[in-house]
């Protein structure tokens, strides 16, 4: 079902209309006809309005309201992406995908190692282009909010903006962060409460200058690691945003059972696989080749009734999302 943004004045009782560029999109690109249905939303409104096309005028599409549906596609948390200016058109990709993932605002940041330097005139034109990309992505992904893309700022100004916004959690992925701090990074993410605002600072292709990390940390940003691999500047924000969206929408709970030396791993496997497939999807099970120190069950939703599987007297928890075995000792 196609979705279009309208202003509040374009909806009156059971009638609405579409105008501007979307008029051409509906009539000439999508070639929709009278009687076809579509959704319209008012930015910031949680309602979704299902309408049927009544007629076409020279400059607008006349609609009749069928019903109103409340939608909760927006995250409970506001996520601010501070993106170091990348080369070429990489920022366009970042804006598009970040919008799909639920970001609230995007702030391009000019950093010391940013190759791209925009003058005032170019920055204004670029910002208009970036906002049009955010608009199209919001429409495609059925967002109820169109993320605002700011004009590029220097780091000090961007950090001041985040401070003035009263953001609760501030994160900066840093390639020189201790690679053994994945547990700390995991804890930082798991401690983020729904409804908390989050800012994520991403460096450009050349990475951060140490003075920039120091400045960010002094403003309350926490260094996190994204693993042992160095990610491209267009990959890093999508990884962080995906992680945040999963945590904020579904949540993750860790359950640590007894050490493996208390029971037989093969016995555990057989018990799991013999369980009801409605409780534990077999495709969600990942087994290690080695005997592990700990068993960690990670799940976003725990089945309301905890099923005890007879594994040498050790109960296992039935999950319907993800069960994984890990070699990490928590």
- Report the C-alpha dihedral over residues 131, 137, 140, 141, rounded to 10 degrees: -120
HSE toward the beta carbon, residue 65, CA cutoff 13 A: 15
Q: Comparing C-alpha atoms, which of 271, 278, 255, 283 is closest to residue 310? A: 271
CATH superfamily of 79-249: SPOUT methyltransferase, trefoil knot domain (3.40.1280.10)
| pLDDT beyond 60 at 111 | yes
Same CATH topology for 3-70 and 79-249: the answer is no
Q: Model confidence over 175-229: pLDDT tens digits?
A: 877 656 678 888 888 888 888 999 999 999 988 999 999 999 999 999 998 888 8
HSE toward the beta carbon, residue 126, CA cutoff 13 A: 22
**CB neighbour class for 211 (10 Å; exposed up to 12, middle 13-18, buried from 19):** exposed
Q: Model confidence over 45-78: pLDDT tens digits?
A: 888 999 999 999 999 999 999 999 887 788 889 9
CATH superfamily of 3-70: Hypothetical PUA domain-like; domain 1 (2.40.240.20)
Mean pLDDT of the chain: 78
Domain boundaries, the chain: 3-70, 79-249, 253-324
Q: Name the helix (H) or strand (E) containing 249.
A: helix 236-249
Taking the C-alpha atoms of residue 124 and residue 266, their distance in angstroms, rounded to an integer, is 63
Helix, strand or coil for residue 87? coil
Q: Judge if pTM exceeds 0.75.
A: no
Give the position of tokens 């994204």.
Answer: 226
Q: What is the pLDDT of residue 59?
A: 92
Pick the more confident residue, 1 or 286: 1
Question: Which residues pair with residue 42 across a beta bridge?
Answer: 6
């Amino acid at each position: 079902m196609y979705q279009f943004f309208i202003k509040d004045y374009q909806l009156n009782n059971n009638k609405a209309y579409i105008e501007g560029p979307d008029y051409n999109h509906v009539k000439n690109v999508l070639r929709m006809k009278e009687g076809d249905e579509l959704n319209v939303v008012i930015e910031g409104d949680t309602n979704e309005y299902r309408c049927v096309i009544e007629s076409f005028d020279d400059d607008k599409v006349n609609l009749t309201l069928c019903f109103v549906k409340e939608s909760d596609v927006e995250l409970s948390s506001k996520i601010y992406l501070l993106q170091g200016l990348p080369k070429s058109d990489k920022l366009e990709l970042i804006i598009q995908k970040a919008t799909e993932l639920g970001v609230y605002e995007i702030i391009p940041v000019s950093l010391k190692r940013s190759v791209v330097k925009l003058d005032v005139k170019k920055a204004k034109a670029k910002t208009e282009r970036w906002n049009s990309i955010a608009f199209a992505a919001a429409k495609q992904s059925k967002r109820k909010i169109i993320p605002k893309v700011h004009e590029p700022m220097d780091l000090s100004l961007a950090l001041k903006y985040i401070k003035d916004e009263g953001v609760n959690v501030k994160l900066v992925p840093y390639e020189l962060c201790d690679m053994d701090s994945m547990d700390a990074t995991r804890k930082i993410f798991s401690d983020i409460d729904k409804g908390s605002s989050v800012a994520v600072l991403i460096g450009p292709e050349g990475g951060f200058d140490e003075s920039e990390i120091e400045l960010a940390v002094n403003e309350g940003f926490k260094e996190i690691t994204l693993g042992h691999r160095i990610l491209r500047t267009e990959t890093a924000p999508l990884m962080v945003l995906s992680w945040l969206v999963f945590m904020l929408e579904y949540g993750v709970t860790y359950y640590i059972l007894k050490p493996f030396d208390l029971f037989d791993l093969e016995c555990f496997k057989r018990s799991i696989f013999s369980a009801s497939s409605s409780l534990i999807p077999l495709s969600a099970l990942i087994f290690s080749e080695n005997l592990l120190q700990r068993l960690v069950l990670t799940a976003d939703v725990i089945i309301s009734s905890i099923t005890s599987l007879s594994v040498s007297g050790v109960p296992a928890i039935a999950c319907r999302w993800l069960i994984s075995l890990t070699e990490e000792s928590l």
